[in-house]
Amino acid sequence: MSDKDRAILGDGLSILSQCRMLTGDIWQAHYGAAAIAGYFFVKANHLPGKVEKAVEAENQRMIAKYLQTGTVTGESVSVESAESRILAALDDTIDGLHWVGHNVIYAAISLAALHELGGGLRHEAADIAELISSFAKTIPGRSWIGYSAAEVKRLTLDELDGIYEIKDGNQLSALILNELASYSVIYRAEAHHDLMGHMLTYSHALNILYDLGHPDYFHRGLPGLLKIVKVLRTSSRLDPAEPIRIVSPVDRLPLVEAPRSAWLPHQPEYWAGIDGDVIDWDFGHLFKFPFSFYHHWNRVSEAPARAMENFRYIIHPVQTIIS
């Protein structure tokens, strides 16, 4: 990748670091994580030239909208120093489930960018660490099927859940793809298709930590992720004759099945049917979900085809246009 391409990583780190200062919350950091995800999605996959150009163009449009530009050049910081600061912040929350894993997602993707760049800016590393620290004492998430946030927080795992011991990133990717392949119906809802997408990104973030040489954080983060796996398993066993219990400020009954995307993100037709600005880059998921899905797909030697099929219902739907 060229220096111009790698500049996207610096922009992504800047958006992550500016989030708390500009908005006072944790959500605009989505776009910084998404910018970094877009870079690595292109780098990690053998994509057609049209796809690479389309991803870069959409990424640059998103960055132009969400990056607060300035002329101040900060003091440089080594990868080791920045990593130490970010991991120290993550240490306070890695053992629990906070906002469907965004503390882990932000930390891991920041570390991936810092390693790729060979360093970063000291004030940005400090601001990203503060962002991650702000997840302390936050809820597991706001939208759930069959559970309240408090019930998810109290949720435990046992042998009856049938979730085998995960020892490394390859095993985790295999588990996640098998889970994705198991769903017979996917609803277009924050508590369902969106939660599945975050199952992909949360698990991917743990794999990044594992691959960067932090297996302790990988193993400590698994229980929070596996709570999401357990909740989604429950949603797949809903009785159509029984009323669905949904706890969410945004999802409403009756739930509607998610539309199937006719195209996949490694195909030019997918990006030809996307106007990122109109959909606000699906809150950054336009880049994050493909980056994470293909990471798992490429990591598993015999991935279930059904996982790829079900992924079509999680990404932003791009339909076949009949003229």
pLDDT by residue (tens digit) across 271-302? 999 999 999 999 999 999 999 999 999 999 99
> Domain for residue 230, yes or no?
yes
Residue 236: the pLDDT is 81
Question: What total of structural domains would you count in the chain?
Answer: 2
> Domain for residue 256, yes or no?
yes
> Domain for residue 187, yes or no?
yes
Whether 148 and 37 map to the same domain: the answer is no
Instruction: Round the average pLDDT of the chain to a whole number and report it.
Output: 94
The token pair at 66 is 């969400």
> Domain for residue 31, yes or no?
yes
What's the pLDDT band for 195 if we cut at 50, 70, 90?
A: very high
> Domain for residue 320, yes or no?
no
Closest Cα to residue 225, out of 192, 195, 203? 203
Query: Is cis: bond before 254, omega within 30 of 0?
Result: yes
The answer, yes or no, to whether residue 126 has pLDDT greater than 90, is yes
Whether 60 and 85 map to the same domain: the answer is yes
Whether 282 and 156 map to the same domain: the answer is yes
Let me know: does 317 contact 261? Beta carbons within 8 Å.
yes
Let me know: does 134 contact 20? Beta carbons within 8 Å.
yes
Whether 307 and 178 map to the same domain: the answer is yes
What's the pLDDT band for 321 if we cut at 50, 70, 90?
A: very low
Q: Which residues contact 178 (CB under 8 A, 6 or more apart)?
A: 304, 307
> Domain for residue 162, yes or no?
yes
Rounded CA-CA distance 244/254 in Å is: 9
Closest Cα to residue 38, out of 11, 20, 67, 70? 11
Residue 1: the pLDDT is 65
Whether 182 and 267 map to the same domain: the answer is yes
Whether 40 and 187 map to the same domain: the answer is no
The answer, yes or no, to whether residue 142 has pLDDT greater than 50, is yes
> Domain for residue 321, yes or no?
no
Percent of the chain with pLDDT over 90: 87
Whether 81 and 115 map to the same domain: the answer is yes
Of the three residues 107, 133, 159, the one that is the final residue of a domain is: 133
Whether 57 and 196 map to the same domain: the answer is no
Let me know: does 139 contact 99? Beta carbons within 8 Å.
yes
Whether 129 and 239 map to the same domain: the answer is no
Determine the structural domain holding residue 79 and report its residue range: 3-133
> Domain for residue 46, yes or no?
yes
Whether 14 and 148 map to the same domain: the answer is no
Q: What is the pLDDT of residues 22-69, one digit of tens each?
A: 999 999 999 999 999 999 999 999 999 999 999 999 999 999 999 998
Rounded CA-CA distance 283/287 in Å is: 9
Of the three residues 76, 110, 133, the one that is the final residue of a domain is: 133
The token pair at 208 is 């990044």
Query: What b-and-e string marks burial along 80-93, b requiring 16 or more CB atoms within 10 Å of the CB?
Result: eebbebbbebbeeb
Of the three residues 78, 106, 133, the one that is the final residue of a domain is: 133
| Bridge-based pairing state of the strands 144-145 and 120-121 | unpaired
Whether 149 and 175 map to the same domain: the answer is yes
Whether 218 and 296 map to the same domain: the answer is yes
Rounded CA-CA distance 278/280 in Å is: 6
HEC letters along 254-314: CCCECCCCCCCCCCHHHHHCCCCCCCHHHHHHHHHHHHHHHHHHHHCCCCCHHHHHHHCCC
